[in-house]
């Protein structure tokens, strides 16, 4: 039988033994290391803009992406989509299954939030009472907090997938808010169309969550003195006084775009398949083809 090591007697040990307190073994200290340089292997991109501006088209141009087209905005686009996602529970279950080096998308987060609210109405209670048809049925604004909390759990699902190497494309609608300006004309501000209230804000959580947020707008053309939407689009990634947009680590803030151009995804370094090269005849040093 192996002899037990003799404990070193100290006043602290004697007091602990007298009081029946077991002496704790020293814990091994966690080691940390310094990593230099850029480390990004995946990204989370938010895209929003007015109806018909080309949000889904832009997303569909990302090579290799697979989408949960819960709003059926991609029915006419040549893109891979997932069938069978019909409710909030399905969407969360699918997101949890995504992992590794791939690209996934959700069209749209605005629709996902609607499903989130429906789930909250169906499952949550406040003071023992269920909502009837709207989150406004909950007392004291609790409905907004319930939705924001549930939506935050959904973002956590995406975050876990992201940390495994999966990049995410998330589309949202545009909401225009007008602000009074007593000194001049009123001005408008573009925001992602997501819940924003004092009790909870899906919008603020999503804005912080995304690495890049791209706002797409039609370029304005002036015809006979009247402004009208032009043929081209601009993708804004810069901070602005009239829209939410941002980027992390990209070399450009504003991108001119037409509906067939992959320049946005090229900027994010999404690799595209290379065309097969036709074998060329090998020429000898005498100039004769072999």
Q: What are 132-164's pLDDT values in tens digits? A: 555 555 555 677 888 999 999 999 999 999 999
Q: Where are the beta strands (DSSP E) in the chain?
A: 44-49, 65-68, 80-81, 103-107, 125-126, 129-130, 167-179, 187-192, 212-223, 226-236, 254-257
Range of the domain at 52: 44-212
Examine residue 233 and state whether it is found in any structural domain, yes or no: no
Examine residue 262 and state whether it is found in any structural domain, yes or no: no
Cα–Cα distances in Å, from 103 out to 68, 121, 189? 12, 32, 30
Q: Which two tokens stand for residue 165?
A: 């190497």
Examine residue 144 and state whether it is found in any structural domain, yes or no: yes
3-state secondary structure of 213: strand
Domain of residue 55, CATH code:
3.40.50
Examine residue 234 and state whether it is found in any structural domain, yes or no: no
**What is the rounded CA–CA span in Å between residue 140 and residue 260?**
48
The residues, ordered by sequence, that sit 6+ positions from 117 with a Cβ below 8 Å of its Cβ are: 135, 143, 147, 195
On whether the CB atoms of residues 55 and 213 are closer than 8 A, the answer is no
Cα–Cα distances in Å, from 183 out to 2, 26, 179, 180, 241? 88, 68, 12, 9, 17
On whether the CB atoms of residues 235 and 214 are closer than 8 A, the answer is yes
Examine residue 20 and state whether it is found in any structural domain, yes or no: no
**What is the rounded CA–CA span in Å between residue 107 and residue 56?**
7
pLDDT surpassing 60 at residue 90:
yes
Condensed to tens digits (0 to 9), the pLDDT of residues 202-260 reads 999 999 999 999 999 988 654 544 545 566 899 999 888 889 999 998 888 999 998 88
- Tell me which residue of 248, 246, 168 sits closest to 214, measured CA to CA: 246
**What is the rounded CA–CA span in Å between residue 202 and residue 113?**
8
Count of domains for the chain: 1
Q: Which two tokens stand for residue 191?
A: 């925001």
Question: Binning pLDDT at 50, 70 and 90, where does residue 5 land?
Answer: low
Examine residue 283 and state whether it is found in any structural domain, yes or no: no
Examine residue 127 and state whether it is found in any structural domain, yes or no: yes
pLDDT surpassing 90 at residue 13:
no
Examine residue 83 and state whether it is found in any structural domain, yes or no: yes
């Amino acid at each position: 039988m192996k002899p037990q090591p003799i404990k070193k007697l100290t006043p602290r040990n004697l007091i602990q033994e007298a009081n029946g307190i077991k002496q704790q073994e020293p814990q091994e200290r966690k080691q940390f290391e310094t990593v230099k340089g850029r480390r990004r292997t995946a990204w989370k991109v938010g895209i929003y803009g007015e109806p018909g501006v080309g949000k889904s088209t832009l997303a569909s141009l990302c090579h290799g992406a697979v989408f949960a087209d819960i709003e059926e905005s991609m029915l006419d686009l040549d893109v891979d989509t997932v069938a069978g996602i019909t409710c909030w529970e399905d969407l969360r279950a699918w997101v949890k299954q995504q992992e590794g080096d791939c690209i996934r998308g959700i069209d749209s987060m605005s629709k996902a939030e609607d499903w989130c609210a429906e789930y909250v109405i169906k499952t949550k209670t406040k003071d023992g009472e269920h909502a009837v048809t709207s989150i406004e049925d909950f007392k004291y604004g609790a409905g907004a907090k319930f939705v924001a909390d549930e939506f935050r759990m959904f973002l956590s699902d995406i975050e876990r997938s992201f940390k495994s190497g999966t990049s995410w494309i998330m589309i949202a609608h545009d909401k225009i808010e007008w602000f009074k300006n007593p000194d001049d004309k009123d001005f408008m501000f573009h925001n992602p169309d997501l819940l924003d209230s004092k009790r909870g804000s899906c919008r603020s959580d999503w804005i912080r969550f995304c690495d890049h947020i791209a706002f797409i707008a039609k370029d304005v053309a002036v015809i006979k003195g009247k402004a009208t939407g032009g043929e081209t689009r601009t993708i804004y990634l810069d901070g602005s006084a009239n829209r939410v947009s941002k980027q992390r680590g990209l070399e450009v803030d504003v991108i001119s775009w037409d509906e067939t151009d992959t320049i946005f995804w090229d900027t994010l370094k999404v690799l595209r398949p290379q065309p097969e090269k036709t074998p060329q005849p090998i020429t000898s040093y005498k100039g004769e083809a072999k």
